[in-house]
């Protein structure tokens, strides 16, 4: 049984069909990229899976359970955690405080008006682990709103990881990042998938990253499922090249970057 | 702007030695109030009033400044505290402490029940519902003449000496000030404790970003309702003390004008800082006391101060002072 299954899922906004009859499966342990031109419906798909809004039609199964139209709070408890295309963090709080809140929500202690010293240090320990994991420990005391966009995205990913997700949805995790930050983020994504076995679905525009990181790739175009397959299959798919990668240089770019990633 | 909110570097938020020193000096000053206040032209009851309004505004500020909920109806919980105390002392008991407890719980229970109604809407609609709920109690107090004394207010009760085994403490002006100071301290400790806890962290995070909190698995509305209830409880405690201070209450203690004044106090002093409303209460109560002895329209002066402070100290008076000392 797949971890996540979409069955004939559609989403309309008035007359606009943002997603049309999408069926796809993601297996536990997969590292899947979701690509497609602007407006293809990638973020909308994330919104459906994470419960931001319900599908107009179709069913979504998570671990075999029907979750279409389930609210985000319940879905987080089931293990679906996401980041947003436009970073959603607590801008006036420090990096440390951002992660602390996330850890406390994950530990299920957010309702407590009082905690013991032991719980407090357990929280602190977990925050330190996360700071280290996403490599932002040096900025723990900084107010999040003062950080670069790249660092803010790192904070958001750190917050998501506080929850030990069963399915992690990352909407353009490297957007706004410099080369080095991008490198860290892609390494982190690989590491989370390989070492911790977290199933990850990520949206990405940079083909170097997509073909370097993802095992399988799903391509959306204009609300429809255009193709799905391994990196090599997608790179060789003429429909993808025509619709998405553009004419001519696409093949070269794709194979080139694939080679990069392999080295 | 966020630079002013920057914490000292280093991870967890510690209470620094400087904070402890400031707290110590502040408390020493408060304890010594009955001795020094006559020399600056004040009187002890005025100081009691400052503490009471400060407590109310700090209670309100848990919701306003630390959870991001703008309530225009917190006078309801203040007034319920007042009427709870008055009615208890008039009809049921001679125990001042019991009456205080009853008033506080009455207001707190109302906030606990009504918070969930208000949080069903967001933003301006939330605020409008809080006004409507608040005014409901105002009209009940005005209409239910034979119980509440209607427009004329509730009279015929007074605070009684405290009885402990083997000890009777009369509550004259000075002793009552200390009585207020004790409950003020307890109220502050409650609010401070909450803000240092995971619950308080969640409140602040909700103020910062509803969406992020939802997608961290937090049912945001329920948490805001909880903040509303705790905030209402503290405001009710303040109201209960206020009725004991005056040995009187009237529908004015339930009116939205008071709700507005509490908001003004919080914003004036600085709603992002824990002690901001306390500073606001000092300014508000002193200006009201002094200016109302000169002209009847003291509210205009408060309004003017408020507008100027919002223009020139958007973080409140305390926020402004903090920023200056940080530079
Ligand atoms: N809440 C909404 N209301 C109305 N239209 C929407 C809404 N969300 C998305 N859309 C529309 O649905 C289509 C798909 O949008 P979506 O954000 O999913 O694209 P995307 O693939 O994430 O694009 P990008 O790469 O630019 O992020 C777009 O035409 C968009 O305008
Ligand atoms: Mg998008």
Residue B115 lies in a domain: yes
Residue A250 lies in a domain: no
Give nearest CA residue, ligand 1 atom 7.
Answer: A13
pLDDT at A235: 87
Nearest to A113 among B8, B194, B219 (CB): B194
Nearest to B215 among A82, A92, A123 (CB): A82
Best mutation target among A105, A114, A125, A153 (most B Cβ atoms within 10 Å) is A105
Residue A73 lies in a domain: no
Residue B174 lies in a domain: yes
Average pLDDT, chain B: 91
pLDDT at B267: 93
pLDDT digits (tens, 9 = 90+) for A82-135: 999 999 999 999 999 999 999 999 999 999 999 999 999 999 999 999 999 999
Residue A159 lies in a domain: yes
Residue B14 lies in a domain: no
Question: Could you tell me if residue B166 is left (phi over 0), alpha (psi between -120 and 50 degrees) or otherwise beta?
Answer: left
Closest C-alpha to A176, from A159, A152, A202, A158: A152
pLDDT at B18: 86
Residue B33 lies in a domain: no
pLDDT for residue B4 is more than 80: no
pLDDT digits (tens, 9 = 90+) for A40-74: 999 999 999 999 999 999 999 999 999 998 999 99
Confidence of residue B3 (pLDDT cuts 50, 70, 90): very low
In the numeric block, the tokens 């330190």 are attached to A128
Where in the sequence is the domain holding B175, given as residue range(s)?
A: 2-8+44-326
Confidence of residue B118 (pLDDT cuts 50, 70, 90): very high
Domain count, chain A: 1
Higher pLDDT, A195 or B305: A195
CATH number at residue B271: 1.10.3470
Nearest to A141 among B5, B9, B198 (CB): B9
pLDDT at A251: 42
What percent of chain B is modeled with pLDDT above 70? 95
In the predicted model, what is the mean pLDDT of residues A200-228?
94
Q: Which residues line ligand 1 (CB under 6 A)?
A: A 13, 16, 18, 36, 38-44, 85
Give nearest CA residue, ligand 1 atom 10.
Answer: A18
Integer Cα distance of B243 and B3 in angstroms: 42
Higher pLDDT, B55 or B303: B55
pLDDT for residue B8 is more than 50: no
Query: What SS3 string covers chain A?
Result: CCCEEEEEEEEEECCEEEEEEEEEEECCCCEEEEECCCCCCHHHHHHHHCCCCCCCEEEEEECCEECCCCCHHHHHHHCEEECCCCCCCCCCCEHHHHHHHHHHHHHCCCCCCCCCHHHHHHHHHHHHHHHHHCCCHHHCCCEHHHCCHHHHHHHHHHHHHCCCCCEEEEECCCCCCCHHHHHHHHHHHHHHHHHHCCEEEEECCCHHHHHHHCCEEEEEECCEEEEEEEHHHHHHCHHHHHHHHCCCCHHHHHHHHHHHHHC
Give nearest CA residue, ligand 1 atom 11.
Answer: A18
Best mutation target among B7, B201, B203, B229 (most A Cβ atoms within 10 Å) is B201
Residue B34 lies in a domain: no
Integer Cα distance of B120 and B36 in angstroms: 48
pLDDT digits (tens, 9 = 90+) for B232-288: 999 999 999 999 999 999 999 999 999 999 999 999 999 999 999 999 999 999 999
If interface means Cβ-Cβ distance under 8 Å, which residues of chain B face chain A? 2-3, 5-13, 193-194, 197-202, 204-205, 208-209, 211-219, 223, 226
Residue A261 lies in a domain: no
Residue A134 lies in a domain: yes
Residue B181 lies in a domain: yes
Residue A115 lies in a domain: yes
Considering every ligand atom shown, identify the ligand nearest to the alpha carbon of residue A47 and give its number.
1
Question: Cβ A128–B200 below 8 Å, yes or no?
Answer: no
pLDDT digits (tens, 9 = 90+) for B27-38: 999 999 999 999
Residue A245 lies in a domain: no
Closest C-alpha to B302, from B313, B289, B315: B289
User: Which runs of E-coded beta strand occur in B103-258?
Assistant: 162-164, 167-169
Question: Cβ A141–B216 below 8 Å, yes or no?
Answer: no
pLDDT digits (tens, 9 = 90+) for A218-230: 999 999 999 999 9
Taking CB atoms within 8 Å and a gap of at least 24, the contacts of B317-324 are B317/B268, B317/B269, B317/B270, B317/B276, B317/B279, B317/B280, B317/B283, B318/B269, B318/B270, B318/B273, B318/B275, B318/B276, B318/B279, B319/B4, B319/B270, B319/B272, B319/B273, B319/B276, B320/B270, B322/B4, B322/B270, B322/B273, B323/B4
Nearest to A90 among B9, B12, B212 (CB): B212
Closest C-alpha to B282, from B53, B64, B60: B53
Where in the sequence is the domain holding A101, given as residue range(s)?
A: 88-164
Q: Model's pTM, two decimal places?
A: 0.92
**Residue B68 C-alpha, separation from nearest chain A C-alpha, in angstroms:** 13
Question: Cβ A112–B200 below 8 Å, yes or no?
Answer: no
Residue B16 lies in a domain: no
Residue B15 lies in a domain: no
Q: Could you give the ipTM of this predicted complex? A: 0.91
pLDDT for residue A155 is more than 60: yes
**Residue B76 C-alpha, separation from nearest chain A C-alpha, in angstroms:** 25
Domain count, chain B: 1
Confidence of residue B7 (pLDDT cuts 50, 70, 90): very low
């Amino acid at each position: 049984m797949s971890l996540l299954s979409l069955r004939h899922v559609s989403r309309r906004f008035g007359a606009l069909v943002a997603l049309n009859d999408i069926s796809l499966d993601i297996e536990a342990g997969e590292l899947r990229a979701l690509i497609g031109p602007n407006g293809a419906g990638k973020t909308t798909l994330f919104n459906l899976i994470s419960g931001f809004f319900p599908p107009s039609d179709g069913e979504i199964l998570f671990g075999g359970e029907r979750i279409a139209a389930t609210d985000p709070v319940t879905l987080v408890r089931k293990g679906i955690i996401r980041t947003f295309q436009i970073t959603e963090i607590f801008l006036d709080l420090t990096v440390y405080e951002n992660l602390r809140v996330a850890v406390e929500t994950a530990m299920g202690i957010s309702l407590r008006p009082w905690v013991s010293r032991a719980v407090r240090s357990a929280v602190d320990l977990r925050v330190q682990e996360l700071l280290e994991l996403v490599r932002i420990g040096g900025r723990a005391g900084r107010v999040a709103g003062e950080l670069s966009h790249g660092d803010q995205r790192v904070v958001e990913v750190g917050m998501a990881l506080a929850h030990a997700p069963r399915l992690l949805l990352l909407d353009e995790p490297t957007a706004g990042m410099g080369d080095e930050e991008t490198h860290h983020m892609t390494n982190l994504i690989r590491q989370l998938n390989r070492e911790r076995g977290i199933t990850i679905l990520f949206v990405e525009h940079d083909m170097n990253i997509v073909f370097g990181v993802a095992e399988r790739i799903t391509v959306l175009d204009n609300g429809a499922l255009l193709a799905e397959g391994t990196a090599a299959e997608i790179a060789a798919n003429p429909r993808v090249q025509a619709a998405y990668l553009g004419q001519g240089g696409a093949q070269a770019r794709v194979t080139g970057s694939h080679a990069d990633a392999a080295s | 702007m966020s630079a002013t909110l920057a914490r000292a570097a280093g991870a967890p938020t510690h209470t620094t030695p400087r904070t402890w020193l400031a707290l110590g000096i502040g408390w020493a000053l408060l304890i010594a109030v009955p001795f020094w206040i006559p020399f600056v032209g004040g009187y002890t009851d005025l100081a009691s009033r400052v503490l009471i309004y400060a407590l109310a505004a700090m209670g309100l500020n848990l919701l306003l400044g630390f959870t991001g909920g703008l309530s225009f109806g917190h006078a309801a919980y203040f007034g319920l505290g007042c009427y709870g105390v008055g009615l208890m002392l008039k009809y049921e008991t001679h125990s001042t402490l019991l009456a205080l407890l009853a008033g506080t719980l009455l207001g707190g229970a109302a906030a606990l029940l009504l918070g969930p109604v208000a949080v069903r809407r967001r933003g301006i609609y939330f605020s409008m519902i809080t006004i409507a709920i608040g005014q409901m109690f105002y009209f009940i107090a005005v209409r239910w003449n034979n119980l509440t004394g209607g427009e004329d207010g509730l009279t015929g009760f007074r605070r009684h000496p405290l009885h402990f085994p083997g000890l009777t403490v009369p509550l004259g002006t000075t002793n009552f000030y200390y009585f207020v100071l004790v409950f003020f301290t307890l109220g502050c400790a409650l609010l401070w404790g909450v803000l240092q806890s995971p619950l308080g962290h969640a409140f602040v995070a909700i103020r910062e970003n509803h969406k992020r909190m939802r997608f961290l698995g937090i049912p945001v509305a329920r948490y805001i309702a909880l903040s509303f209830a705790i905030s209402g409880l503290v405001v009710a405690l303040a109201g209960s003390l206020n009725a004991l201070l005056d040995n009187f209450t009237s529908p004015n203690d339930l009116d939205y004008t008071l709700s507005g004044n509490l908001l003004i106090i919080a914003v004036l002093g600085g709603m992002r800082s824990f002690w901001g409303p306390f500073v606001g209460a000092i300014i508000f109560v002193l200006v009201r006391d002094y200016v109302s002895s000169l002209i009847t329209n003291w509210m205009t002066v408060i309004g003017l101060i408020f507008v100027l402070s919002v223009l020139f100290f958007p973080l409140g008076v305390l926020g402004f002072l903090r920023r200056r000392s940080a530079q």
